[in-house]
A and B are shown apart, each in its own frame.
Chain A
Amino acid sequence: MLVVAKSPAAEASYFLDYYSHYANYKQDHTFNALSMSLGAESSLQSSSSSEDFAAFLDSELELASCDSSPNEGDVTNNEEIDPPQRSKKQKMEGFKTSEDLETERLVKPIEEHIGTSTLGKNVICPPHPGFFKGLCIRCGQIEEDESGVAFGYIHKDLRLGNVEMARLRGADLKSLLHKKKLILILDLDHTLLNSTRLVDVISDEEYLLRQIDGMKDDSDRSLFRLDSMHMLTKLRPFVHNFLKEASSLFEMYIYTMAERSYAIEIAKLLDPGKVYFDSKVITQADCTQRHQKGLDVVLGAESLVVILDDTEVVWQRHKDNLIQMERYHFFASSCRQFGFNAKSLSELMKDERESDGALATVLKILKRTHQMFFDPALGSDVSTRDVRPLLKGIRQEILQGCKIVFSRVFPSNSPAQDQPIWKMAEQLGATCCTEVDPSVTHVISTDTGTQKAHWATQNKKFLVNPHWIEASNFLWQRQKEENFSISNLPSHTIVDCTSKAQESVQ
Chain B
Amino acid sequence: MFFHITLERNMQLHPRHFGPHLRDKLVAKLMKDVEGTCSGRHGFVVAITGVEDIGKGLIREGTGFVTFPVKYQAVVFRPFKGEILEAVVTMVNKMGFFAEAGPVQIFVSNHLIPDDMEFQSGDMPNYTTSDGSVKIQKDSEVRLKIIGTRVDATEIFCIGTIKDDFLGVINDPGVTA
Q: Chain A: residues with CB nearer than 8 A to chain B? A: 109-110, 113-114, 118-120, 129-130, 132-142, 154-155, 157-158, 160, 168, 171-172, 175, 251, 273-275, 278-279, 299
Indicate which residue in A109, A138, A157 contacts B157 across the interface (CB closer than 8 Å). A157
Establish whether residues B123 and A273, one from each chain, have CB atoms under 8 Å apart when the complex forms: yes
CB distance from B90 to the nearest CB of A (A): 10
Indicate which residue in B81, B148, B164 contacts A136 across the interface (CB closer than 8 Å). B148
User: In the complex the two chains form, what is the Cα distance from A132 to B158 in whole Å?
Assistant: 8
Interface SS of A by simple majority: loop
Name the interface size band of chain B: 20 to 34
Given A113-B164, A275-B123, A279-B93, does the pair A130, B157 have CB atoms closer than 8 Å?
no
Establish whether residues A299 and B159, one from each chain, have CB atoms under 8 Å apart when the complex forms: no
Counting residue pairs across A and B whose Cβ atoms lie within 8 Å, the total is 81
Per the 8 Å Cβ criterion, residues 78-126 of B in contact with A are: 81-82, 91, 93-96, 98, 107, 109, 111-112, 115, 119, 121, 123, 125
The chain A residue with its CB closest to the CB of B152 is A133
Inter-chain contacts of B81 with A (CB < 8 A)? 110, 140
Given A154-B93, A155-B98, A168-B94, does the pair A137, B150 have CB atoms closer than 8 Å?
no
Inter-chain contacts of B164 with A (CB < 8 A)? 113, 118
Chain B, residues 49-93, CB within 8 Å of chain A (1/0): the string is 000000000000000000000000000000001100000000101
User: In the complex the two chains form, what is the Cα distance from A134 to B155 in whole Å?
Assistant: 13
Establish whether residues A140 and B109, one from each chain, have CB atoms under 8 Å apart when the complex forms: no
Is the C-beta of B163 less than 8 angstroms from some C-beta in chain A? yes
A–B pairs, 18, beta carbons within 8 Å = A110-B81, A113-B164, A119-B111, A120-B115, A120-B163, A129-B109, A132-B107, A133-B152, A133-B157, A135-B148, A135-B159, A137-B96, A138-B112, A141-B148, A154-B93, A154-B95, A274-B123, A278-B125
Is the C-beta of B27 less than 8 angstroms from some C-beta in chain A? no
Inter-chain contacts of B121 with A (CB < 8 A)? 175, 251
CB distance from A264 to the nearest CB of B (A): 15
The chain A residue with its CB closest to the CB of B119 is A175
Establish whether residues B147 and A139, one from each chain, have CB atoms under 8 Å apart when the complex forms: yes
Is the C-beta of B161 less than 8 angstroms from some C-beta in chain A? yes
Establish whether residues A299 and B94, one from each chain, have CB atoms under 8 Å apart when the complex forms: yes
The chain B residue with its CB closest to the CB of A154 is B93
Given A133-B157, A139-B148, A140-B147, does the pair A168, B163 have CB atoms closer than 8 Å?
no
Inter-chain contacts of B98 with A (CB < 8 A)? 155
Establish whether residues A140 and B159, one from each chain, have CB atoms under 8 Å apart when the complex forms: yes
Establish whether residues B94 and A119, one from each chain, have CB atoms under 8 Å apart when the complex forms: no
Inter-chain contacts of B111 with A (CB < 8 A)? 119-120, 129, 137-138
Per the 8 Å Cβ criterion, residues 130-158 of B in contact with A are: 146-150, 152, 157-158
